A = this chain, B = another copy of it.
Amino acid sequence: MAGIGAGAGGRSGARPGSGPGPASRVTGANLLALRSHNAALLLDLLRRAGRMGISRLELAERTGLTPQAVSKITARLRDDGMVTEAGRQASTGGKPRTVLRLVPEAGHAVGLHLDRDELRVVLVDLTGAVAGERRAALDLGAGAEAVLGAVVAEIGEVVAGSAAGRSGAVPGPDAAARTAVLGVGVAMPGPLDHTHGVLHRVTGFPEWDGFPLRDELARRLGVPVVLDKDTNAAALGLAVGGEVGAFAYLHLGTGLGAGLVLGGAVHRGARTGAGEFGHQVIQLDGPPCSCGNRGCVEALCLAAVARGDVDEAARVLGEGAANLVWLLDIDLILLGGRTVAAEPERFVRGVGAALDAHAQRAGAGSPVPVRVASGEARAVAEGAAQLLLAPLFGRAEA
C-alpha cells in the first residue's frame, strides 16, 4: 500500500531516498495529507474525463465525498489554475450541471527515453498530450560528460521551443507558473535502481556502472528527476492512457522484458528488478542463453525469430505469458517492441492461442485478452514523463 503521503506539500515530486526505513515505511497522515489526497483524487478523475469534462456531482458520486466538499476542493483547484469550467450538461429537469475540465497547460513534464543508440525527448502537458518532441542519435559509449551534455541540450531545446512559445498564448494569472516544468522522467534499459536513481551494469558499457544519473541530471537541470526502467515507463504510460486492471506489457525487441501493473500501480520490486520476464526458464536444460542459463524464453523466442519462425516465437512467448497470467491473475497482455511491430497480427494470434489453451484446460472463465500496445515509438518517452505527473494524480508509487 501506498497510503496517503506524508505531510509535505505534495507538489514537489521526486524526493531523495530518505530515511532508514526498514521495509515499507508507512507514515502518519495529517490534514495537509488529507487535502492533497482528495485533490489528487479529483484531478485523476478530471484527467480521465479528458476533453469531455465531468460535473461536480459526478465527482462526488465517484469519490464518495459530499458535493459540498467537491465544490470546495474544485474551487481551490480553479484558483490554482489547474481546473476550469467548460460548459454545461443537458438539464434533467432542474439546473444543469456545470462541467469541469482539467487545464492542460497548467503544468508540463519532460520524458526522456535513453536507448542504446538513440535519445528521445518529449514535453507533455498535464493530460499527457505531447507538446514538443526531439530525437537524436546517441552513443552511450561516449562517456557520461558527452551524453549528459547532449541530454541537457536536447531537453533545453524542447522546453524552449514549446513551453516558452505557448506561454504567451495562454495569458492569465501567473502565466509563468502555468508553463512550469515539473521535472524530467528518464527511462532506459535496466538494470538500475529507481529508488536511488543509480545505474547498474549497463550492458556493454561498464563505465556507467553505479553512475548516479538521477542526482547528476537534477543538479544540471535544476528540476526534480526520476529514473526508471524503459519497460516500467511504458507500462505506466499505458496505465495512464486508459488501460485498466492488472496487466503486463511484454516488450520484444533486441531483448525481452516486461512491465507489470498490479492493483493500478507499477510493480518494481525493492531493487527495480521486477519484470525480468525474458530470463524465465520454460525449457529445463534447453538451449543456452546469453545470460548463462538454459532454456530462457528470450533465447527460445529470439532463436525462433532468427529462423523466421514467427509462429513458434509467438507460441513460446505465449507460454511464458501464460505462466505470468496464472501466477499473478493478470487481466490483460499488451505486446510491444520492434520485433512485435514487424508482425503484430501473428504475434497477437499466437500468444492468444497459447493463453486460450491454458484457460480452457483450467476451466477458467473468459480468456485473457492480448493486444498490441498503442503509441509504439514514443510510448517509453511519454511514459517517462508520467513518472513525474503520477504523484500529482495520487499515484505516488505508480
**A interface with B by C-beta (< 8 Å):** 1-4, 6-7, 22-24, 26-31, 33-34, 37-38, 41, 44, 63-65, 69, 201, 244-246, 258, 260, 262-265, 267-277, 279-284, 286, 291-293, 295, 300, 316, 319, 322-324, 326-331, 357-358, 361-365, 394, 397
Contact = CB atoms under 8 A, between A and B. Distances in A.
B27 A63 contact: yes
Contacts of A44: 26
- Say how many copies of this protein the assembly contains: 2
A69 B28 contact: yes
A153 to B, nearest CB: 33
9 A-B pairs with least C-beta separation: A269-B329, A273-B329, A1-B2, A28-B63, A292-B361, A28-B65, A23-B244, A276-B326, A274-B329
A4 B1 contact: no
Given A271-B329, A283-B283, A26 B394 contact: yes
Given A26-B63, A26-B394, A281-B282, 13 more contacts: A3-B37, A7-B64, A24-B264, A27-B64, A28-B38, A28-B63, A29-B38, A34-B34, A201-B363, A258-B327, A282-B295, A284-B300, A293-B361
Contacts of A328: 260, 267, 269, 274
Contacts of A364: 273
A143 B163 CA distance: 69
A41 B69 contact: no
A280 B24 contact: no
Contacts of A1: 1-3, 263-265, 397
Contacts of A300: 284
A36 to B, nearest CB: 10
A246 B263 contact: no
Given A26-B41, A244-B23, A264-B23, A280 B2 contact: no
A275 B327 contact: yes
